[in-house]
Structure formats: C-alpha cells, structure tokens
Structure 1
C-alpha cells in the first residue's frame, strides 16, 4: 500500500486556471469564468441524478469556493496524472474538472473499482434470493472442485471470503508498478484464456477467513457464481438491476477470451457515473426512494468484516488502510472504492460528500497524491456541516 508522505501547504496559493494553465491570485469574490471547475447556480432542494446532475455554487451547500481552488491546485499538480475530479455535496456538483485529454464523455477504466461494483451486484443477488447469503460455499458453483479431498481448504471457501480477500488461495498480487512477472493478475491477463480456470487451479494455503491477501482472483470467482446463481449474464444483470436504476446509460465491461465477465476489473464509466455509484452507497443503497441494494448490505460492505482486518470490508477500503488518517482528524467512517493508477471513489458520510478522482498515475507509491491530504483539503472546504 502507498507510503504516506508529508505534504507542506504553501503560505501563498498560486492558481492554475481551468485545464488550460495560467495563474492568478485569489480575489475577494471569485469570478466563475476564471474558475470553471467550480459549480454555479442555486441549490433547488433534494433530488437524485437519475436523468441529469444539478450543480450549484459551493456556498449554496455550505462549502468555501476559495478553499476548493486549493483542491484544484492539489489535483492538477503536473507531478501526478489526474484526469478527472468531481466533488458532490447533498447530491449537487460543486466541483468538476477534466485534465490531460480526459473529457466528460470519456469512459474511463475502473480497474479495481469494478470489485466494489461486483460486491454491490452480489448484495443485489442476495436481496433477490438468488443467493441465500454470503456464507454459501464457492465449491457449490464450480464442478471443478467437486472431488476435492476432505482436507482441502477450498471446500470451506465462502462468497464472504471472496469479498474480503480471505479465501486462502495461493495468489501473488504485490507488485503493480515494477516487476510484474510474478504478479498473478498480470499473468492471468496476459496468458490465460479462461480466468476462472486459472483461479480455480490455485491451491489453498491458508484457512479461509484467517489471512488477508489482496487477490483479483478472489473477485474473479464472483463472475461464475453470479452467472450461475442468477441465470443471467453478469453484465446484463448489472444493467437491469444497477446501472439502469441509477442513470448509468453508457458503459463497457471487459471479458476474458472464454466470455467470462471480469468481475475484478474492466468496467468503463464516465466520471459522473462513478459518482452515481458513490451516491448510491452514500444513501445506504437507496436511490430516490427505491432500495437498489439493501441498507444492511451497504453497512456490511463498508465495515470491517473481521476484527483483525479493520481496513477492508466487502471489497471496499476503510480508513485504517491509511496509517496517518487520525493525524488529519478525518472521520473514521470514510470509505472508498480503489483501483490501480489511483482510481478512487471517496464516500464521506459525516459531510454528505462524494468525491471521485480518476487518473493515470504511473508510480503512485512515490508521487505527490496522498489520500489523507486530499481528504483533509476537501473537508476543510466545509463551512456548514
């Protein structure tokens, strides 16, 4: 996980103007034409962006425009590769910017944000009775494991274990940005025609539920389970039961050469559509009065699944993953969906905020993007909680 770096805020703030560069000192009253990333208009009451988003000035929802300019400068730092950033409060856009050739219409690769979306689909499948609960055994969906010896711990792996990265299957996914020759996710991507067969061939080396090991293989096994349980193609199930319900009209979802939907990565959405998914979870699975996924599932997903693994829920990351979060006085209930190259959906329940950052960071272990610093800047913008 990323090393936490110390960031010194400068005493004097220099502003980059929009995506095109330029600089200026902050004026007493910000001219929206000079700061097009800031929202405009009035707050017109509660709504959900099923059809379209509303925006308003930050001050309309108790946020400080000048401080949001600091957020822009942080995200637009040329030492990192931010491609899109959006911040919503009370469901209204107060900040939105696109950088480095990224546009509002770009379908951006989710990477492992797809794991969180697949977790949501698992909850929906349980809600609809396709799965009894998350404690069902994985072997019941894969005949490849029918004749395992009784001593083989693959017999005990549950859907919950897949969601929480505790299957115990042998898997190496430690190096994304250097030597990937031993990284199972890259090996699977580059050489396996059938990702499910690749994962199913792995041995179990830890008792399920006893050891956290981040694994795209665990998430991939959800693909076959969802297809078998629902009787539907996973992508179609997502369209009918999630995407259409919250206004996501355009997407792609990659498959392996055998046609299996890749439930570990491979979704493409716009920046705003990632924000829609964040809003669904901010509202505990409820969208404009319709319970898309149960409140209970959202709460399980965004809480520690095991006492000794307090940084991860059901395919969502929790604040203890950042060792310094308490130094910034950040709320402990913030959670995020997180993909490589720093794709992140932050949900900040205490402040009714969703922030989505998409990028193409080639070395996030050593660049200038630090999640806790970013979150502190965003929360410092709030004048009225």
Structure 2
C-alpha cells in the first residue's frame, strides 16, 4: 500500500516541478553581435515574445507614412524587427543629428575615467580662455558638466555657430537651461586633454570596441559642429551598449557610475535632461528654443524609465531598461521639421505599445 501511494504521488511531484519551472523560467542571456565586421546578429520572433502580431502591419504603415527610412526593435540584444523604407537599406548611412550628442557625452565619460578630464573643472582648463565672448569671470564659471547638462548660460538664440564671437553671455552658468550646440566644445576638451584627434579617440575608445561603423561630418557656420553618420545597426549597437550600462559583452567601455549620472537628472531646471540624454517619466520638462516649463512626462505613452537620444527630424534612440529593449528610428521629419522632439514620439509609442502589450 505504501509503495502504491508513492507511485501515485510521483506524477504529482513532476507536475508541480513543471509548473514551478514555467512560472520561473531561466532568464535569457543578453546577446551582443560580433564586432569583427560580420553581419551576423541573432533574431527573436514576435511570436516567441507573445506580442501582438496583428499590430505589426499598422506600425509599419505608420512608419512609412511618417517618412521613416529605418526602424529596429531589439530585445535582450536580439533583433525583433528590422525594417527599411523608401530605398534605404541596412548598408545606407544616415545622420544622427542631435541624437549624436550622446556619443559626445559617452566619450567625455571615457576621457574622465582615463584621467584626462574632470567634468567638474572649468572648460578653460582644457581649451584655454577666450573660447567664448563672455567676460572672463563669467566664462570661468562654465564647467564641462555645464556643457553636458545644457546650462552653460550662453545665448542659445544665435544659431549653430560656436566660434567665440557667437558664444555670448546671457546668465551665470548653472542658472539657466537652454538647448545649445556649445556642447560640441566637449569634443575639443577631449581632444586637447587626450592629445589625440577627436576622430581617433572616438574610433579607438568607442566605435571599434562595439563594432560600429560611421563617420563624423563637420558642418555649421564655424565648421565645428560635428554630426555623426552611420547605418541603423550601428546606432542600435550604441543603444545596446547603453541598455547594458556601458558594458559590452563583459567589457566595461564606460564607467557605470558616470553612466548613471548621464541618465539621471543633471540639474534642477529641466528634470528631463541628463548629460545630453533626454529622460522620460519626470514630473516636468523643458523643450529646445523655449524657457517654458511643461508638466508631466515628455512621452506619456513611453515607459517611465526610458531614456532617449533625440535628433532633428526625428532621429531616435529609445532605451527601455525595464523591457530590456532598444528602439531605433531614422528618417526625414515625420511631420514638420523639428529640432528634437515632436508629437511623433508619443504617437509612435502608442503604435509600439499596441505591439508589445
């Protein structure tokens, strides 16, 4: 009788073990594509994620309608969606616009961890005085951190030209947030302090380490405004690096402490801004070209923990740690020309939510 009881109990134990296994599946390991120039990149199906397959076509139609050139979703490092529109291909380069500001923020962090700079030091410590048209005592208030946080106090209404005569004093550094291309002076800081050209330092310390391609193109009135161009997959690689807090396949490219600072509110004026990264889910935010404070999250349809690299005419890197997801969009302006943010962000996330929820 005792033997019969054990035999009857054994299938039940197996069933319970199976149920526990389903409730607590082994966590999928993060994937990193090879950095040897190979086109290999693991994929993951929408079906395996349990997403809504019926939402795919409306999303693609919306993206094409809104003048997109490419779109990618990556989960745990694996490609879930990769689509190209209007003649754009996987090998076509496109400009990042201001989404590339985050590349400068990242290189600044690498330069700091290598001991070349301290972002709390004044900019003139590295590139000399007279780099602005501000009085010397006001210029010396401007730290590297001010450039990364967009609160240099310099006049943001004078266009892209970052030559000294065009960098005019408006307010003391740290007292006014304004979206300004003066951030590009951090590239000079890194170059001067490292003793290398910006391109060489960028390529060796970041681009080549994570298998990106692309190049910097100088534009703007003064010739100092560098814009990065690359393939969509290269943009996705950078997003994946930041999803993993600066680590690439076991190698810490960017110090995690600096990464945390970069993706956290950097000053008390625009809560939705870190070090050249935009931050979702804050109680208020400012927009470029205005001093108005708006209430609520920048992208209400987006996750509260999402941080973003956002560029002119809707170049986008969205990083969502809670979903282990990176979303990339490249293209022309979805609607009218815009500087960084537009209604497109929230509409797009409405379409993505229909897919992933």
- TM-score range, shorter-chain basis? 0.7 to 0.9
CA, structure 1 residues 147+67, in 2 after alignment: closer, same or farther (shift >3 Å)?
closer
Q: 1:309 aligns to what?
A: 270
Higher relative contact order (CA 8 A, sep 6+): 1
Candidates 191, 205, 213, aligned match of 2:170: 205
Count how many residue pairs are aligned between Structure 1 and Structure 2. Answer: 314
Tell me the TM-score normalized by structure 1: 0.74
Answer yes or no: is the 8 Å Cα contact 1:82–1:357 preserved in 2: yes
User: Is 1:360 matched up with 2:332?
Assistant: yes
Candidates 216, 221, 244, aligned match of 2:185: 221
SS of 2:110's equivalent in the other structure is: helix
C-alpha separation in 1, matches of 2:124 and 2:297: 39
CA, structure 1 residues 326+311, in 2 after alignment: closer, same or farther (shift >3 Å)?
closer
User: Is 1:300 matched up with 2:261?
Assistant: yes
Which shows bigger deviation, 292-301 or 267-276?
A: 292-301
Candidates 59, 62, 66, aligned match of 1:74: 62
Candidates 206, 230, 253, aligned match of 1:242: 206
Aligned ranges 1:60-139 → 2 under 5 Å: 60-77=48-65, 80-131=66-117, 133-139=118-124
Structure 2 runs not aligned, ≥5 long: 1-26, 286-293
How far did residue 363 of structure 1 move?
A: 1.0
How far did residue 199 of structure 1 move?
A: 4.0
C-alpha separation in 2, matches of 1:146 and 1:277: 31
C-alpha separation in 1, matches of 2:173 and 2:317: 28
Q: 1:169 aligns to what?
A: 154
The superposition leaves residues 338-377 of structure 1 with CA deviations (integer Å, 9 ceiling, x where unpaired) of 1101101011111111001111116145x99621222233
How far did residue 117 of structure 1 move?
A: 0.4
SS of 1:130's equivalent in the other structure is: coil
C-alpha separation in 2, matches of 1:66 and 1:90: 22
Q: What CA RMSD, in Å, does the superposition of the two structures yield over aligned residues?
A: 3.0
Question: Which aligned runs of 4 or more in structure 1 are off by greater than 4 angstroms?
Answer: 146-151, 256-260, 320-329
CA, structure 1 residues 157+332, in 2 after alignment: closer, same or farther (shift >3 Å)?
same
Candidates 266, 274, 287, aligned match of 2:227: 266
How far did residue 324 of structure 1 move?
A: 6.1
Larger strand fraction of residues = 2
Answer yes or no: is the 8 Å Cα contact 1:108–1:268 preserved in 2: yes
C-alpha separation in 1, matches of 2:180 and 2:194: 24
CA, structure 1 residues 259+238, in 2 after alignment: closer, same or farther (shift >3 Å)?
farther
Question: Whose radius of gyration is greater, 1 or 2?
Answer: 2
Answer yes or no: is the 8 Å Cα contact 2:133–2:169 preserved in 1: no
How far did residue 44 of structure 1 move?
A: 8.6
SS of 1:381's equivalent in the other structure is: helix
Q: 1:232 aligns to what?
A: 196
Answer yes or no: is the 8 Å Cα contact 2:318–2:327 preserved in 1: yes
How far did residue 224 of structure 1 move?
A: 1.3
Answer yes or no: is the 8 Å Cα contact 1:112–1:265 preserved in 2: no
SS of 2:236's equivalent in the other structure is: helix
Candidates 28, 32, 36, aligned match of 1:48: 32
CA, structure 1 residues 282+120, in 2 after alignment: closer, same or farther (shift >3 Å)?
same
CA, structure 1 residues 278+147, in 2 after alignment: closer, same or farther (shift >3 Å)?
closer
C-alpha separation in 2, matches of 1:92 and 1:146: 44
How far did residue 273 of structure 1 move?
A: 0.6
Structure 1 runs not aligned, ≥5 long: 1-42, 173-182, 189-194
CA, structure 1 residues 288+215, in 2 after alignment: closer, same or farther (shift >3 Å)?
same
